[in-house]
């Protein structure tokens, strides 16, 4: 799987995913402090699923209409011990699942998904 891991996620997760054969870009390694809209644009351009703890991505997708293809996985795991967060995130991302086309919200007890808004044509406004 082609993933982009936001800088708010542990480097241990990045290592575990790479060790399991996934193609992973880590924002903390490659572009620290890159603004969220640029992170989303890079993930879309490189056809990578974005994994994050940052709830601002929902705002960017649904209120500001930033493209978010192929998918965004938001982990809402406040209050969990860091080792449990690493375990849950890694286990989730190693699942064989078609994540494409949705904003996924994963909590300790719940998984929700919401379709991503349709993308405007590339020549819109021309």
Tokens of 60: 């960017």
Average pLDDT rounded to a whole number, residues 1-27: 96
Q: Report d(CA 101, CA 91) in Å as an integer.
A: 21
Domain range list for the chain:
10-20+33-78+89-112
Average pLDDT rounded to a whole number, residues 103-125: 83
In the chain, the DSSP E strands lie at 2-5, 23-26, 49-52, 72-76, 102-107, 111-115
**Which pLDDT belongs to residue 79?**
87
**Which pLDDT belongs to residue 96?**
85
Q: Report d(CA 22, CA 6) in Å as an integer.
A: 15
Paired with 5 in beta bridges are: 26, 51
Q: Report d(CA 108, CA 126) in Å as an integer.
A: 45
Nearest to 73 by CA among 64, 65, 88: 88
User: In terms of pTM, does the model score above 0.95?
Assistant: no
Query: Residue 33: pLDDT above 50?
Result: yes
**Which pLDDT belongs to residue 126?**
45
Transcribe 45-74 into DSSP letters: HTT-EEEES-THHHHHHHTS-----S-EEE
Query: Residue 78: pLDDT above 60?
Result: yes
Express each pLDDT in 40-61 by its tens digit.
Answer: 999 999 999 999 999 999 999 9
């Amino acid at each position: 799987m082609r993933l982009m891991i936001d800088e708010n996620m542990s480097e241990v997760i990045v290592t575990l995913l790479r060790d399991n054969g996934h193609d992973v870009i880590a924002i903390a390694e490659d572009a620290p402090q890159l603004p969220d809209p640029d992170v989303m644009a890079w993930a879309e351009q490189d056809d990578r699923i974005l994994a994050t703890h940052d709830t601002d991505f929902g705002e960017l997708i649904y209120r500001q209409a930033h493209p978010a293809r192929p998918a965004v996985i938001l982990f809402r795991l406040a209050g969990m011990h860091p080792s449990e967060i690493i375990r849950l995130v890694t286990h989730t991302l190693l699942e064989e699942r078609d994540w494409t086309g949705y904003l996924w919200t994963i909590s300790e007890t719940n998984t929700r998904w919401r379709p991503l808004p349709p993308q405007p044509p590339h020549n819109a406004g021309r």
